Amino acid sequence: RSRTSPVPFGGHRFEFRAVGSTQNVSLVNTVLAAICAEAFKDFADQIEAGTKPQDVAAASLDAHWKVIFNGNGYDKAWPAEADARGMCRIDSGVEAINVLAEPKNLALFADLNIMDPLETLARRDVMLQHYSGIVQIEAACMVDMIVRQIIPAIHAVGIDTKALMDAVRAVKTKLHFIESQADDFTKAKGARELRLETMETCRAVCDSIEETCPASAWPIATYKHLLFLDCNQDAFGASTLSS
């Protein structure tokens, strides 16, 4: 059993650990069930055609042995090992969502009478739109907090605001780009870059400024308050932490 594997064997069962904390598991279960059903159908067809069950199992294991990995799934060497084994590897959630539209996946659901191609594509589109929409909300909230709270506060205590204003401008530029796109996949790819690159850069600039800004002038909760507020309250729930 390996707790670093997305699909570890737990002794009496396989577990699937790759679902995000906010993700609905219904489609995940649908996909896993469809994969299993297709594999069992293939086994059944071969056995019913006269092939011995042991031979069917052995041939399947020989063909797919590359997917079995008992090492550390978090090790940075594993992605390179997966590539060397010829496994399908997708590091981007957005790219993974879009793979639903590939012909083999459309055929999988259609052949098992789970979803017709239009229904599968609709789910792809909704997931891409949901991802883009969440990132747009997060980016707009980030810009609003920095422009209306952080920049005025640090300017009042004499801290240079240029670097932070430039970082915010980059976030707004990328946000406007996403809003201008009509294609869901293009928009989602832009949102991924915005969240993982542009917003991370802006956050790093903001964090570095927070380190030099007096706590009394910082307009939102500091990490000190966020981490220890529950441990430092008086009988009336008021914080006993000094600024």
* Pair of tokens at residue 235: 């009988």
Query: Partners of 233 in the beta sheet?
Result: 239
Residue with tokens 């007096």: 214
pTM: 0.82
Q: Report the C-alpha gap between 37 and 40 in whole angstroms.
A: 5
Greatest extent of the chain over all pairs of C-alpha atoms, in Å:
83
DSSP classification of residue 148: I
Report pLDDT for 1. 46
Residue pLDDT, tens place only, 160-213: 999 999 999 999 999 999 999 999 999 999 999 999 999 999 999 999 999 999
Report pLDDT for 3. 60
Report pLDDT for 228. 72
Of 141, 129, 56, give the one whose Cα is nearest residue 94: 129
* Pair of tokens at residue 166: 């430039």
Report the pLDDT averaged over residues 151-161: 95
Report pLDDT for 132. 96
| Angle of the 199-212 helix axis to the 162-180 helix axis, nearest 10 | 160
Q: What's the mean pLDDT when you consider all of the chain?
A: 89
Report the pLDDT averaged over residues 47-69: 93
Report pLDDT for 53. 95
- Cβ atoms of residues 205 and 163 within 8 Å: yes
User: In terms of DSSP H, where are the helices of the chain?
Assistant: 25-48, 53-64, 77-84, 93-98, 103-111, 117-145, 151-156, 162-180, 184-193, 199-212, 223-228
Per-residue b or e along 67-82, where b marks 16 or more CB atoms closer than 10 Å to that residue's CB: eebeeebeeeeeeeeb
Residue with tokens 């670097």: 163
